[in-house]
Copies of this chain bind each other. A is one copy, B any other.
Amino acid sequence: MSGRSLKVRRCLPAEGPGEECAVFAIYGHRDAAAHIALGLHALQHRGQEAAGIVTFDGRQFHVHRALGLVGDTFSKRRVIEALPGHAGIGHTRYSTTGASMLRNVQPLFAEFAFGGLAIAHNGNLTNAAWLRRQLVREGSIFQSTTDTEVLIHLIARGSGDSHVERLVGALKAVEGAWSLVALFDDAIVGARDPLGIRPLVLGRLGEAWILASESCALDILGAERVRDVEPGEVVVAGRGRIERFFPFPRRRSRFCIFEYVYFSRPDSIVEGREVYEVRKRIGAELAREAPVAADMVVPVPDSGVPAAIGFAQASGLPFELGIIRNHYVGRTFIEPSDQIRHLGVKLKHNANRGLLAGKRVVLVDDSIVRGTTSTKIVAMVRAAGAKEVHMRIASPPTTHSCFYGVDTPERRQLLAARHTVADMARLIGVDSLAFLSLDGLYRALGLSGRDPRQPGFCDACFSGDYPTRLVDQERGERQEELPLVLEEA
């Protein structure tokens, strides 16, 4: 999988699963904003379209949100200096629907009768549209189209003696996946949904407490990884205290298995497992399940690299960089009218012609979503002279959409939802195609296979087994559309 250039995304059907979001929070460091900026930079792979930071300086909240990469905005001294305080939260976001949707950029902040509160959220609420409609009927005014704003209004209308009680009250009303961080008054809060679908890790830097989507955001700061926040846990860190609660009924956890396949950074430890190690084992399982006689193993960079290394080591075939990635991306160029074949994919990838010519190649990629990029990459590899192209996919066929925060296309656009593996091989143009089995994926995670009664992970994108109700889906609810806004400072 590849093709994450965002401009292409907007115009063309998406090529792969979209990134999701990342959250970060810190309490107890006088340079909160600078640390949040660094943490978000380490989490940039989870969302590139916008970023935001809210800090609290003991008296007042400070907000800055902007479209673009974290480093585009939050590397500026004047921006960081305008965000004073010892506590704060941040967010990077993948998907906005228009250049101007600054209103949708998180964290969201609101002034309640009991004080200010900011929230940032990774995941997706599966009953947000339905709840939103109820709230609007009762007179709530929405300013964004994010599901996060539903939480804001639930808090505003809720009751409870403390900020945390009010937040928990709101969380009890929502369904879906939510790993969130919140900032109020003089504390930060982290919370994961009862199934723990999205990751959240707790860290420590000197006296400061940190919450982050992945452990790589701790590493950049030299912070220590304490533990994962547990499914259904609410953790509160403030002046001289850290407390945890489990206010929701306990359930067996269902962590997103796709975090291991694609989302998380290979140097992160998520939900207790090292991502790089899992991916290499996935490659090794794949080599065992679907071996092939070939001259070399070539990853589709960068996401296919660890699995390709695992495949090469298990198979004894040499690992080679047969496709070179151009890392200066993020733009769609104007296509010359005299069409260049497969321009889109060439903006990011080039075949290593000298290496591939006349060779039998095993291409390793993490997943196939629509199949369009795979088709182009295979054509490019063949044009470079490869004699045989065998594709090995480091996950099972993606047959179902995600409703938990991953920007997958509708089901009918998923190649594997409509085609057999044999058909897919033909469409993509490979000599052979194999996916890792679902049991193989669980084996790579250290289990003996998938137990269908209690699978241990959310694998709905491969199995269709959704672990929560999908209220909005069931009711045909749609997010309200706000007016088209084009705002300038």
Point out residues on A near B: beta carbons under 8 Å.
Answer: 7, 29-31, 34-35, 37-38, 41-42, 44-45, 48, 54, 60-67, 69-77, 79-80, 82, 99-100, 102, 109-113, 116, 133, 136-143, 152-153, 156-158, 206, 216, 219-222, 265-267, 269, 274, 276-277, 302, 305-306, 309, 313, 318-321, 324, 326-338, 340-341, 343, 346-347, 350-355, 480-489
Contacts and interface: CB of A to CB of B under 8 A. Distances in A.
Given A41-B347, A267-B352, A324-B265, A333 B75 contact: yes
A417 to B, nearest CB: 31
A143 B108 CA distance: 11
Question: What 3 A-B pairs are tightest by C-beta distance, nearest first?
Answer: A71-B331, A139-B157, A61-B483
B219 A350 contact: yes
Contacts of A305: 321
Contact of A111 (B142, B269, B337): B142
A331 B69 CA distance: 10
Contacts of A277: 354-355
Nearest to A99: B489
Specify which of A318, A327, A352, A485 lies most central, judged by the most chain B CB atoms within 10 Å of its CB. A352
Nearest to A275: B354
A86 B318 CA distance: 45
Given A38-B347, A79-B486, A110-B142, 19 more contacts: A37-B334, A42-B350, A44-B326, A48-B328, A54-B483, A63-B487, A64-B485, A82-B486, A111-B136, A113-B137, A139-B153, A141-B141, A141-B153, A220-B340, A220-B347, A222-B341, A222-B346, A276-B321, A489-B489
Nearest to A319: B319
Contacts of A269: 353-354
A142 B274 CA distance: 44
A347 B313 CA distance: 30
A481 B63 CA distance: 13
Contacts of A331: 41, 69, 71-72, 75
B487 A488 contact: no
A337 B44 contact: no
A77 B484 CA distance: 17
A206 B269 CA distance: 51
